[in-house]
């Protein structure tokens, strides 16, 4: 007899077995959730970048004004009376660069456009002294911004005043009360002073005092003595309204500005992320490393433009994988922000040009900063070659002169006076525009700098 099969060892055929349940891969669900969460994070980061970039842009009126409340009220009332009551006027915004002149004006114009009484009843003409270098260019720009090219056509005018008067007459709608007011903004106002006979300023100020189209002229300048530069006839037609802007806050207020500028607003779409971001900003403000970075910047420059540049660099490091700012981000941004542009030029120089700069450095040390000439630099370089007995540095004098002229073109070396045609180049007095620390820092990161050149630069005495 055949023994019965042992059930313990017997297996059913593959076709008769119950289908085995395959467990769902956990990585699939986690990847899907990760994609969803990363999508939300990417949206949050995009919103953060947009809000902060608009806030840090000095021409944008999205951010807050600090310490300018009185000036804001004064300028807003001045322009409101122009737009609502048809009053003409003129004023100057005076303050150092970075004090917020453009930001103040942009905030005032933004607030003005939001008033119900204005309703876009104000024409704006923005001129810049760096672009409109003479009165004819300025007049063409005024015509373009007022969209009067077709009205002017091929007409010929006898003078600048007639041309400007024709433009303003074309905009009139009857009497003074119903005419559309015009705001002229003159950025870099002190450069318009150098126009021939100050004709543009004279006519604008003259119109702002006459019973014609309502016109207000606002000038922005960093010159404190601007009134002394105006001609007598121009000064007599100016209203002498001057609004001064100064950064008068201390370091405590500076830290508060830092927190407010980095904090997200209450209306941010993702409340939990905004809360996490703002808590992180508070922790950053209490961090000693961050305070050290801000203290160094505050001592160097109190203007908010520098702070905005620093924060813009730091916020560029914010990504989906790095959603919150750290003290290291601000330290790296500070390093980039304070990078010396002249020292960076040294990184692209040849070894011969580096040697000439080191020779000038030693001449400054030996002669206590007195000016030098090419012949002195060449002799110093020759001493180094003889000391080291290196044939690789033994260039002919015309080649060395060519390298020296390249340093002059890069403005790393500056002549004391304008060279004449008869002056010998070898004996022209010069001054080095790099100090010893800048040269040594640049040599530390110079790629493949020869060791003996570094040693020569580090020596405190010249090769006598």
Q: Which residues pair with 219 in a beta bridge?
A: 92, 186
Q: What share of the chain is helix, strand, coil (3-state, %, to 5)?
A: 55, 10, 40
382 within 8 A of 457, measured Cβ to Cβ: no
Instruction: Report DSSP letters for 410-448, one per residue.
Output: TTSEEESSPPPSSS-GGG--EEESS-HHHHHHHHHTSTT
Distance CA 127, CA 138 (A): 7
Rounded to the nearest 5 degrees, what angle is found at the Cα of 182, between the Cα atoms of 181 and 188? 150
pLDDT in the model for residue 59 = 57
Q: Quick check: is 426 in a domain?
A: yes
> For residue 214, is it within any domain?
yes
Residues 311 and 451 in one domain: no
Q: Tell me, what's the pLDDT at 126?
A: 93
Closest CA to 257 of 110, 103, 73, 378: 103
Query: Which candidate, 118, 106, 115, places its Cα nearest to that of 68?
Result: 106
- The residues with which 372 forms a beta bridge, in sequence order, are 430
Residue 148 lies in a domain: yes
Tokens of 97: 């660069």
In this structure, the answer to whether residues 304 and 196 fall within a common structural domain is no
The residue among 355, 412, 346 whose CA lies nearest residue 380 is 355
Statement to judge: residues 82 and 219 lie in one domain: yes
Per the domain annotation, does 449 fall within a domain?
yes
Do 238 and 265 fall into the same domain? Answer: no
Residue 261's closest CA among 295, 306, 321?
A: 306
Position 340 scores a pLDDT of 64
Query: Domain for residue 184, yes or no?
Result: yes
Residue 17 lies in a domain: no
What CATH number should be reported for the domain holding residue 367? 1.10.10
Neighbours of 445 (CB within 10 A): 11
Closest CA to 109 of 96, 98, 93: 93
Number of structural domains in the chain: 3
206 and 272 together in one domain: no
Question: Strand, helix or coil at 94?
Answer: strand
Sheet of strand 215-221, all strands in order from the earlier edge strand to the far edge: 123-128, 182-187, 215-221, 89-94, 242-244
Identify which of 453, 353, 346 has the alpha carbon closest to the alpha carbon of residue 401. 353
Verify that 256 and 324 share a domain, yes or no. Answer: yes
Q: Which residues pair with 92 in a beta bridge?
A: 219, 242
Mean pLDDT, 10 residues at a time, over the chain (464 residues)? Answer: 49 47 48 46 85 76 72 90 86 87 88 74 88 87 82 67 74 56 91 88 84 84 90 90 84 88 86 90 90 88 84 87 88 79 74 86 85 87 77 78 87 76 72 81 78 79 46
The CB-side HSE value for 240 (13 A sphere, CA atoms) comes to 4
Does one domain contain both 328 and 196?
no
Strand partners, 243: 93
Which sign does the torsion angle of CA 323, 325, 328, 329 carry? positive
CATH of residue 138's domain is 3.40.50.300
Tell me the two tokens of residue 58.
């000095």
Which of 209, 244, 279 is where one domain is finished? 244
> What local confidence, expressed as pLDDT, does residue 127 receive?
93
Full-prediction pTM beyond 0.85? no
9 in any annotated domain: no
Q: Are 180 and 171 in contact (CB under 8 A)?
A: yes
In a domain, 38, yes or no: no
Last residue of a domain, one of 281, 311, 338: 338
Angle made by CA atoms 429, 431, 437, in degrees to the nearest 5:
155
Identify whether the C-beta of residue 73 lies closer than 8 Å to the C-beta of residue 104.
Answer: no
- Dihedral through CA 105, CA 57, CA 273, CA 45, nearest 10? 150
Domain region containing 448: 343-458
Same structural domain, 283 and 353: no
* Statement to judge: residues 307 and 379 lie in one domain: no
H helix or E strand, kind and range, residue 135:
helix 135-145
Q: CA–CA separation, 360 vs 363, rounded Å?
A: 5
**Given this model, what pLDDT does residue 82 score?**
86
375 and 276 within one domain: no
The verdict on 223 and 330 lying in the same domain is no
pLDDT value for 349: 82
Domain boundary among the residues 226, 244, 262 is at 244
Phi first, then psi: give them for residue 219, nearest 5 degrees: -110, 140
Residue 184: beta bridge partners?
A: 125, 217
Domain identity same for 74 and 166: yes
């Amino acid at each position: 007899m055949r023994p019965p099969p042992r059930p313990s060892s017997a297996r059913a055929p593959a076709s008769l077995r119950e289908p085995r349940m395959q467990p769902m891969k956990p990585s699939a669900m986690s990847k899907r959730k990760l994609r969803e969460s990363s999508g939300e994070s990417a949206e949050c980061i995009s919103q953060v970048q947009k809000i902060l970039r608009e806030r840090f842009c000095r021409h944008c009126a999205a951010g807050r004004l600090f310490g300018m409340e009185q000036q804001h009220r004064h300028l807003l009332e001045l322009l409101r009376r122009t737009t609502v009551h048809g009053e003409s006027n003129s004023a100057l915004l005076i303050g150092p660069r970075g004090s917020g002149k453009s930001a103040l004006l942009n905030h005032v114009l933004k607030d003005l456009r939001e008033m119900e009484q204005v309703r876009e009843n104000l024409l704006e003409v923005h001129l810049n002294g760096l672009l409109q270098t003479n009165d004819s260019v300025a007049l063409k720009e005024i015509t373009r911004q007022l969209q009067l090219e077709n009205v002017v056509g091929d007409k010929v005018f006898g003078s600048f005043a007639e041309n400007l008067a024709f433009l303003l007459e074309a905009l009139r709608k009857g009497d003074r009360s119903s005419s559309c007011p015009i705001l002229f903004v003159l950025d870099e106002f002190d450069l318009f002073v150098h126009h021939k006979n100050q004709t543009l300023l004279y006519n604008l100020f003259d119109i702002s005092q006459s019973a014609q189209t309502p016109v207000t002229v606002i000038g922005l300048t960093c010159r404190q003595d601007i009134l002394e530069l105006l001609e007598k006839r121009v000064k007599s037609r100016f209203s002498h309204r001057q609004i001064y802007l100064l950064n008068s806050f201390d370091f405590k207020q500076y830290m508060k500005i830092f927190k407010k500028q980095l904090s997200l607003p209450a209306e941010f779409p993702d409340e939990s992320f905004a809360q996490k971001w703002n808590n992180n900003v508070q922790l950053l403000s209490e961090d000693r490393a961050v305070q050290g970075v801000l203290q160094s910047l505050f001592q160097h420059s109190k203007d908010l433009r520098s702070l905005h540049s620093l924060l813009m660099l730091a916020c560029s490091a914010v990504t989906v994988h790095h959603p919150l700012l750290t003290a290291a981000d601000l330290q790296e941004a500070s390093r980039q922000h304070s990078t010396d542009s002249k020292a960076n030029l040294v990184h692209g120089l040849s070894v011969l040009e580096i040697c000439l700069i080191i020779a000038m450095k030693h001449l400054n040390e030996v002669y206590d900063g007195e000016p030098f000439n090419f012949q002195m630099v060449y002799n110093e370089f020759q001493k180094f070659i003889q000391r080291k007995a290196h044939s690789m540095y033994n260039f002919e004098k015309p080649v060395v002169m060519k390298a020296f002229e390249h340093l002059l073109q890069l403005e790393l070396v500056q002549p004391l006076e304008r060279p004449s045609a008869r002056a010998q180049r070898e004996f022209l007095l010069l001054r080095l525009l790099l100090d010893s620390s800048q040269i040594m820092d640049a040599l530390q990161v110079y790629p493949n700098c020869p060791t003996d050149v570094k040693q020569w630069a580090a020596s405190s005495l010249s090769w006598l």
